[in-house]
Structures are given as C-alpha cells and as structure tokens.
Amino acid sequence: MSIVSDDQIAGMTSDERRELISRLAGAEAPPMSDKQLRRLRWRVRSVLAGGVIVLVGWIGYLWATLPSQYHADHWRAVWTGFDLALVAAFACTLVLAILRRQLVLLAFVVSSVLLLCDAWFDVLTSGRHDIWPAAASAVFVEVPVAVLLFSAALRMLKDLATWHGQLGQGEHLWQARIPMYDAVGRRPTAR
C-alpha cells in the first residue's frame, strides 16, 4: 500500500488532486444498493410528475372558483407565524454560515424562497394605502436579499462541484451530475 505525503499532494496539479479525490471517494461503498437507488429514483420522479399534474388542475380550479376578495380570520397569526418561520430560517442560515457547514446551501435556498413568498404575499394582499410600502420593500429589500442568498448557494455549489472534479473548466453548474447517483452500479470516476 502506497501512502501519499502532504508534500506530494502539494506538488500535484489541480487536475491530479481532483482525480485523487474522485478515486478516494469511489473507494467507499455506495450508501444504497442499486435496487434501492432505482426504487428511490422511481418514487421521487413519480411524486414530482404526479404533483405537477395535480397542481395544474388545482390551479385551474382555484382560478375559476375563488372569489377575488376574501376576509381571513387569524390574519395576525398568519403573518406573525410566517415571519417567525422567516426569522428561524435566517437564524439557521447564520449559524450554519458561521460554523461553515455545507448545510448552509439548503438554508440559503430556504431563506431565499421564504423571502420571495413574503414579497409576493405582501404585495398581493396589500390594500390601496399599503401597496407602495409593500412594493418598495419587495423591490429594494426582499427580492435583492433573496437573489443574494440564492446566488451564494449557487456559487458554493459550483465551487464544490469544481473542487470534487464534477465540473470542468468552462462548464456550467447545470451540467454537473450527482457523482454517487450518476449511474446505477458505477462508482464515480475522474474526468
């Protein structure tokens, strides 16, 4: 068995390091059997396809049947509860960012989506006198912060994919595949 020293690793090119990382990652046993992986893929795809079909029909039904105005009970609870969820998402994102954990990618996306939902509902549920502050908040605060958080997640994901050798020079993030789930029965290989 040959051990690679720190000096040897430091002398490698970035392509050689990526290949070494890929080979080391491929040496571990896959977390799922091929049969389990195929079953999981089928379930996830089926649920997503079913969700698309059901939601398209549901949206048409709602558009045709809902009144244009509606009085909602528990209005304060709805908005304060939503803002509590937003605070929890921001706090979680902050803690994960401080601790430099990879899960911060998910927290960035969750916080971003919640901010976009907040902007959408603030603007669309505003009355005549509240529309301009809600629109200003959406345009100058919520949407830009959501874009910043989502962009940070994409940048980190691209850096991780590049570092792990799943993304070559000049390739885009949408071209990166999930290495351990790329093909059933095959372990990840170096480019």
> Tens-digit pLDDT profile for the chain (191 aa)?
678 888 888 888 888 887 887 777 665 555 677 788 789 889 999 999 999 999 999 999 999 999 988 888 898 999 999 999 999 999 999 999 999 999 999 999 999 999 999 999 999 999 899 999 999 999 999 999 999 999 999 999 888 888 777 777 777 887 777 765 555 444 444 44
How far apart are the C-alpha atoms of 164 and 26, rounded to whole Å? 12
Residue 120: the pLDDT is 97
How high is the pLDDT of residue 191? 44
Predicted local confidence at residue 36, as pLDDT: 83
pLDDT of residue 8: 86
pLDDT at 187: 47
Structure confidence at residue 26 (pLDDT): 62
Task: Say what the pLDDT of residue 188 is.
Answer: 47
pTM for the predicted model, two decimal places:
0.72
